[in-house]
Amino acid sequence: MKHITLIAAAVAATLGSMAFADGHEANPAVKARQAHMQLYAHNIGILGGMAQGKIDYDAALAQIAADNLAAVAAMNETTYWIEGTAEGTKALPTIWDNMDDFMVKQDGLTVASAAMAEVAGTDLASLQGAMGDLGGTCSACHREYRQRN
């Protein structure tokens, strides 16, 4: 748990400094939100690549990606989701009409990420088994609250 707390603190410091540095160009909350999503995508990309056989399974790397993902998912995102900040992003304005549901979906990602962190470094089959719930939580939120390309 100490490891996850340290990772979360480092991520928060990085996101905070990025938001401060880029604050002139865009809302700092939007920049932080987008950086947070990039961290999700990066770590899920590693895990998904292994689960699909596109990346060779590496227990140590899988555990790092899963621990990072769990730390990022455990962060409280409420300061990123300021009403009126959907314009120019992939966030749909319905997020703010359904904030309770949106946060329930975020909690689902937190639970699925923690479950992945429990098994990712064990073996490929365990990682693959946890991937369904993890992917399902991402899809549930994106279906309702993210613009399609």
List domains and CATH numbers for the chain: 2-145 (1.20.120.10)
- Do 109 and 72 touch, CB atoms closer than 8 A? no
Instruction: Between 128 and 13, name the one with better pLDDT.
Output: 128
Per residue in 19-72, pLDDT (tens digit) is 444 444 679 999 999 999 999 999 999 999 999 999 999 999 999 999 999 999
Do residues 32 and 26 lie in contact, with contact meaning Cβ atoms separated by under 8 Å? no
pLDDT tens digits for range 88-124:
899 999 999 999 999 999 999 999 999 999 999 999 9
Pick the closest to residue 61 from 71, 52, 75, 49 (CA basis): 49
Written as six digits, the tokens of 26 are 């865009």
- Amino acid at position 121, single letter: G
pTM across the whole model: 0.81
